[in-house]
Amino acid sequence: MSKTKISFIIILMMIMVSACGAAPAVTEAPLVEVSGDLVIYSGRTEPLLQPVIDVFKAKYPNVEVLLKAGSNSELANALLEEQANPQADVFITTELFTVQSLAQDGIFQSYPPVGADQLPAEFLGTDNLWTGLTRRARVIIYNADLVSQDELPTSIFDLTDQKWKGQIAAAGSTNGSMQAQIAAMWQLIGEAETEAWLNGLIVNDVTFFGGHTDVRKAVGSGEFKLGLVNHYYYYLQKAEGSNVGIIFPDQGEGQIGLITNATAAAVVNGAPHLSAAQAFLDFLVSPEGQKLFAEQNYEYPLLPGVEVHGDVQRLEGFRFADVDVVEAAQDFEVTFDLMEKVALP
């Protein structure tokens, strides 16, 4: 009995050892094998993705990376249009609602990248149809030369306050992070109040830019006092030497909490270059890829054990807005109706 038990354990250990030995061999083999094109549709803007592509390219010199960057919804439209004739291998978004709703439309194929099992479950798509990459928070950036500490807003609802009229910049209706914020608010406070907030912004002469880089630069230069951005834009602007500050809003009792979202990547169903796509996802989730996002762009890595950038305010201790991704993705369409109804620029 005990002999068979021991031999069983030995065999089991051998399998485990060989598995451990085999595992690196499996992940390292493609390093030389993967070649050809890799077509990436990215809702992340180019400057925020290029450093990651550079390192990936150094690891896989035979892969030709073809990048098309645009807004999440523009590329989502392209993916839907191309469903019968897929062109892209990998889709990267700046929020989860677009990937989730495309996943429901059958645009992606299941692929769990190596190490994805370590990611928090809420940042993984059903059946591994998408994988979260980094987390980001919606914050208010302010120009510290123009706004004193005692008058700082504490809530995104303060942005509709008359005293900031004409002094606020934000991203407009084509921006994925802004769309996602509106979708999240829809779920948190309902249609009527979300509409009232958007109308409040418009009445308050908020200037809506196409993207957040413009917002951070405009606040940094003093063109506006406040800006509604993702947290890393504050750090990017600070790194350029501007005297700017950051507010993590809505932390009080009864307030909606900090709205966060995540970037995600997915392998397209029918991807023409599957092995390159999988290698790229593996790389994005790997400690090396995660570290690049954290170090170069001040984002919150999702892979446990990868440190946030030393300057970045850690998320522990904040109250978060509680948003259900699947539900918000289903309501995403009405968000667009609402933006059109209030004529958000």
Partner 1 sequence: METTHTHRLNLLWLKSNPISPRLAIAAGLVALFVAVPLIYIFIRALGAEPEAWQRLFQTRIWKLLGNTLVLVIAVTSGTLLTGVSMAWFTERTDMPGRKFFRWMLALPLAVPAYIGGIVHLALLRPRGGYIPQVLESIFGQPVPTPSPIGFWGAAFILTLFTYPYVYLLSAAAFRSLHASLEEAARTFGRSPFQTLFQVTLPALRPGLAAGALLVALDILAEYGTVALLRYETFSSAIFVQLSGRYDRSAASILSGILVALAILILWSELRLQGQARYTQMESNWRPAPPVMLGKWHIPALLLVTCVVSASLLLPVIVLTVWSLQAFLDPKTLTTVFHIGSQGFGSYVWNSLWSSGLAALMAVIFSLPVALLSVRYPNWFTRFISRFCQVGYAIPGVVIALSLVLLVNRLLPFLYATPFVVVIAYVLRHMPQAVRASESALNQLSPSLEEAARTLGRTSFQTFAQVTLPLILPGLMAGGSLVFLTSLKELPATLLLRPAGFDTLAVRVWMWATEGFYSQAAPVALLLVLASAFPLYFLLRREQIFK
Q: In the complex, which residues of this chain contact partner 1 (CB under 8 A)?
A: 37, 39-41, 45-47, 50, 53, 57, 63-71, 73-74, 76-77, 80-82, 84-85, 87-88, 173-174, 207-211, 213-214, 217-218, 221-223, 333, 336, 339-341, 343, 345
* Euclidean distance between CA atoms 168 and 137, whole angstroms: 18
Minimum CB separation from partner 1 for residue 38, in Å? 9
Q: Are 333 and 185 in contact (CB under 8 A)?
A: no
* Euclidean distance between CA atoms 109 and 99, whole angstroms: 12
Q: Which is nearer to partner 1, 123 or 293 (CB)?
A: 293
Minimum CB separation from partner 1 for residue 250, in Å? 27
Q: Are 99 and 236 in contact (CB under 8 A)?
A: no
Q: Which is nearer to partner 1, 22 or 343 (CB)?
A: 343
Q: Are 139 and 247 in contact (CB under 8 A)?
A: yes
Instruction: Please give the C-alpha separations between residue 233 and each of 83, 140, 236, 237, 317, in angstroms, as whole numbers.
Output: 34, 10, 5, 6, 21
Minimum CB separation from partner 1 for residue 54, in Å? 8
Q: Which is nearer to partner 1, 53 or 264 (CB)?
A: 53
Q: Which is nearer to partner 1, 2 or 85 (CB)?
A: 85
Minimum CB separation from partner 1 for residue 332, in Å? 9
Q: Which is nearer to partner 1, 41 or 164 (CB)?
A: 41
Q: Are 232 and 298 in contact (CB under 8 A)?
A: yes
* Euclidean distance between CA atoms 314 and 301, whole angstroms: 11
Minimum CB separation from partner 1 for residue 324, in Å? 21
Sign of CA pseudo-dihedral 329, 333, 336, 341: negative
Minimum CB separation from partner 1 for residue 32, in Å? 17
Sign of CA pseudo-dihedral 66, 71, 72, 73: negative
Q: Which is nearer to partner 1, 36 or 287 (CB)?
A: 36
Minimum CB separation from partner 1 for residue 9, in Å? 49
Q: Extract the runs of DSSP E, i.e. beta strands, from 101-177.
A: 108-109, 131-143, 168-171
| CA 255 remoteness from chain centre | 24
Minimum CB separation from partner 1 for residue 66, in Å? 3
Q: Which is nearer to partner 1, 252 or 345 (CB)?
A: 345
Three-class DSSP category at 182? helix
Q: Which is nearer to partner 1, 79 or 185 (CB)?
A: 79
* Euclidean distance between CA atoms 111 and 127, whole angstroms: 8
Three-class DSSP category at 72? helix
